[in-house]
Amino acid sequence: METWKMIFSQVWKKTREFVAENWKAVIAAFYAIFVWFYFKGKADKAKDVIKIKEDSHKKQLDAVEKAHDKEIALRDEALLEYEAIIAEIRADYKEKKKRLSKKKKEEVARLVEESKDNPSALTEQLSEKFGITYVRGGEE
């Protein structure tokens, strides 16, 4: 039994000497252990907060993506409607242009028929109706 007491006494003496020489390191070690235990419980709370923020961020991203998809769908729908309207306008323009050409031809034919014998009257009528300017060329 005495050997154990002696061993314990020597270990205790060496420990006291070590603590006396390195008291700052010992206090730092105890402080680190205390901080670790203190913040161990708070780390779980911080992890929960981070998880909640991540979930919130994911929901926000999903909402933004959904709104973006909706805008793209509306844009595509508007583009299709625009293309249909433009095609209708072009077809209408082409038809009216044909009718106008036909009317002009009929009007010119009527004016030529009426002014068969009078070329200067024909020139004047064409100039008034269609904005054609007659320029005399050649000899004077």
Task: Report how far residue 7's alpha carbon sits from residue 38's, in angstroms, rounded to the nearest whole number.
Answer: 35
- Give the angle 90-95-98 at the CA atoms, nearest 5°: 125
Reported confidence tier of residue 140, pLDDT bands at 50, 70, 90: very low
Q: Residues 129-139: what's their mean pLDDT?
A: 65
Residue 137 has pLDDT above 70, yes or no: no
Q: What is the rounded average pLDDT for all residues in the chain?
A: 85
pLDDT tens for 65-107 read 999 999 999 999 999 999 999 999 999 888 888 877 777 788 8
CB crowding 120-135: b at 16 or more within 10 Å, else e: eebeebbeeeeeeeee
Q: CA 63 to CA 57: how far, in whole Å?
A: 10
Which residue carries 């670790």 as its tokens? 36
CB-based burial, 83-117: b 16+ in 10 Å, e otherwise: eeeeeeeeeeeeeeeeeeeeeeeeeeeebeeebee
**pLDDT tens across 26-52, in order?**
999 999 998 888 888 777 787 888 999
- Quickly list H helices, the chain: 2-21, 23-114, 119-130
Whether residue 61 has pLDDT greater than 90: yes
Q: What is the pLDDT of residue 48?
A: 85
> The whole model's pTM is what?
0.43
Contacts of 132 (CB under 8 A, 6+ apart): 126
